[in-house]
Amino acid sequence: MAVVPQPQHEKPSRVEEARAGFARYKADVKKRGKPFYPYAMFHDTVMSLIVVTVILGLAAIWKWTSYGPHHDGTHQGLLGPEYTAPADPGTTSFVPRPDWYFYFLFYLLRIFKWPESVFLGTVGVPTIALILLLLLPFMDTRLERRPSHRPVAMVAMALTIVSMAVLTWKGATANEALASEVIANVPNWVKQEKLPPQALPGAKLFATAGCTACHTYLGTGSSNLGAPDLTAIGTRNLGITFQVNHLKCPSCVNPGSPMPKFASLGDTRLHQLAVFLEASKGPQH
Amino acid sequence: MPYSRKPTRAEIRRERLQEAINFPLDWLEERSGLVGGIRYFLFRKVPADTNWMQTLGSAALTAFLVQAITGVILAMYYKPDPKDAYSSIQNITDHLTMGWMVRGMHKWGASVFIILMFLHMGRVFLFGAYKYPRELNWIIGVLILVMGMMEGFTGYLLPWDQTAYWASVVGINLNGTAPFLGPWLAQFLRSGQEIGADTLSRFYSLHMLLIPGGIISLIGLHLYLVIRLGVTSPPWSREAAGMVPADEEPVPLRPGLTRPVPRTIAAAQGDAGGSE
């Protein structure tokens, strides 16, 4: 039997409906709209003035609360210092912290802290989120725009806002170990791990050089970016040479490692660190 | 001009004044069409019921302009070299007249810009304004947001203090963990094996030439599409939403009731009123 093409004018296709809707919108705006100037432009101007005022206010608060007793801008203030100490690749007792709008990414890294899954936190989840965001208009092609008729979109929006807010908040309040607190634990490490005296300088260096920003040692520090616990790193007998080379350039020894290079600490201090790491055989009884 | 009587001296003067004012505008219009373009931009129709939420886009634009202006001023005094960067920041902050204000506005303007872009995106999502025919403008907007965050990342290193340095060390290393392109990207950002003078001038160049250039072009496209396609009306509005055909008058409702009315109910109300 021959297939007879059926006339298709009962129901317009989605594309036809969209085009007709947009033509109605254009005609409607032309007929009953208001000119941009002065109506919409008035609102825009008021809002812009508020924006500039808020920016000026933040600048002023930053200035007047961070101007410290030493007559410079390193005082903490309400909105943080105007600048911290000059960059010094040699001393790494500094906890790296991004600007606040990267906190959600920053905290995502702490969720995926197992070495095998770091990749998910650094690249996987953000890339997928970005692709979903870019493709949104092609995933949601319904013409309905009323929020009350778009339950899935509204739930997705609420979940996104809540998760971004939680991640930002957690990132902001993440408890970073302070060098001054970590160094207080060194005697305890010596006792528990029965560290030999020659490992002591390395232990102090380990506590102050920012290692505990990513690594943990006998429960001190916070694991970040997949950095392993170093309590018993010495049991792997990697050797002093390996430890020094790894500290100098982690990604050369261990490709893909996100750990910064510590070559700038100098050979003497790197050797001390290596001795400490090799002496760390876990709690001894 | 067809005067029914001889024009007075004041009338002749006014007419000449008008010609003098119009001459440069006509000159410009004849050669560029700019006057007509600006007139179209200013007097184009927007839906009568646009609301305050729809000012967020222009507010983000204002924040970007603040960044552009304060950035140009900062670039006049900032020195992108590890030896001088920190002291030039100190000089701007502590010694230059109003320097603290320009730097403070640039630093905090960045946060305000990012917040406003997110709020604007939320509004567009709520209004379903990314739907046909505005899909392309949503994509451009997402790209502007991403480039805005790249500005934040590259600008953070420039003061060359401890915060800046160590955040960038970790940030660059994180880029390096991406598969395939990661190591290349980290190498490109670092401009060598270590973070140093080359990294700083590279970040400076990205921060004040490449990325802002990209953002400005994308904002231009974004605005072009807004003007071409028109401003979306709130999804719940009866007017100008394309929900009521233009040749039908919208059905008057009790004031304050802003939900769209189904056509059938509207028709029934029309019957009951018996006004036709």
Q: Kindly report the nearest CA distance between residue A284 and chain B, in angstroms.
A: 34
CB pair distance less than 8 Å for B149 and A101: yes
Chain A residues whose CB is inside 8 A of the B138 CB are: 136-137
- In chain A, the largest separation of any two C-alpha atoms, in whole Å, equals 96
Kindly report, residue by residue over A147-192, the tens digit of the pLDDT: 999 999 999 999 999 999 999 998 887 765 555 567 778 888 888 8
User: Residue B263: which residues within 8 A CB-CB, separation 6 or more?
Assistant: none
For chain A, give the mean pLDDT: 84
In order of A125, A154, A192, the CA distances from A128 in angstroms are: 5, 20, 45
| pLDDT score of A114 | 61
CATH of A179-279, one of 1.10.510.10, 1.10.10.10, 1.10.760.10, 3.10.20.30: 1.10.760.10
Residue A205 has pLDDT above 80, yes or no: yes
The boundaries of every CATH 1.20.810.10 domain in chain B are 52-229
Chain B residues whose CB is inside 8 A of the A32 CB are: 48, 239-240, 246, 250
Q: Kindly report the nearest CA distance between residue A8 and chain B, in angstroms.
A: 23
Q: Which two tokens stand for residue A153?
A: 């979109």
CA gap A109, B173 in Å, rounded = 13
DSSP A227: P
| pLDDT score of B255 | 45
CB pair distance less than 8 Å for A44 and B55: yes
Chain B residues whose CB is inside 8 A of the A157 CB are: 122, 125-126
Cβ neighbour number for residue B206 with a 10 Å cutoff? 18
In order of A57, A67, A73, B96, B98, the CA distances from A70 in angstroms are: 24, 8, 8, 18, 20
| pLDDT score of A3 | 62
Q: Are A86 and A150 in contact (CB under 8 A)?
A: no
Cβ neighbour number for residue A211 with a 10 Å cutoff? 25
The residues spanned by each domain of chain A are 29-84, 179-279
Whole-number percent of chain A with pLDDT over 90: 26
Kindly report, residue by residue over A66-123, the tens digit of the pLDDT: 876 666 777 878 888 888 888 887 665 566 678 899 888 878 877 775 656 667 777 7
Question: Which CATH fold would you assign to the domain B52-229?
Answer: Cytochrome Bc1 Complex; Chain C (1.20.810)
In order of A36, B56, B117, B127, the CA distances from B123 in angstroms are: 19, 8, 10, 6
CB pair distance less than 8 Å for B240 and A25: yes
- Between residues A284 and A93, the one the model is more confident about: A284
Chain A residues whose CB is inside 8 A of the B54 CB are: 40, 43
Q: Which two tokens stand for residue A229?
A: 């616990």
Kindly report, residue by residue over A191-204, the tens digit of the pLDDT: 888 889 899 889 88
CB pair distance less than 8 Å for A55 and B109: yes
Q: Which two tokens stand for residue B78?
A: 């900032």
pLDDT band for position A229 (50/70/90)?
confident
* Minimum mean pLDDT range among A39-53, B110-124, B218-232, B252-266: B252-266
In order of A171, B71, B99, B125, B171, the CA distances from B112 in angstroms are: 19, 15, 19, 20, 22
CA gap A119, A106 in Å, rounded = 13
Q: What is the DSSP string of B12-44?
A: HHHHHHHHHHHHHHHHHHHHH-HHHHHHHHHH-
- Between residues B148 and A34, the one the model is more confident about: B148
CB pair distance less than 8 Å for B177 and A37: no
Residue B198 has pLDDT above 90, yes or no: yes
User: Residue A139: which residues within 8 A CB-CB, separation 6 or more?
Assistant: A132
Q: Tell me if ipTM is over 0.90.
A: no
CA gap A91, A268 in Å, rounded = 14
SS3 of B236, please? coil
Q: At what angle do helices B135-157 and B197-205 cross, to 10 degrees?
A: 150
Chain B residues whose CB is inside 8 A of the A85 CB are: 161-162
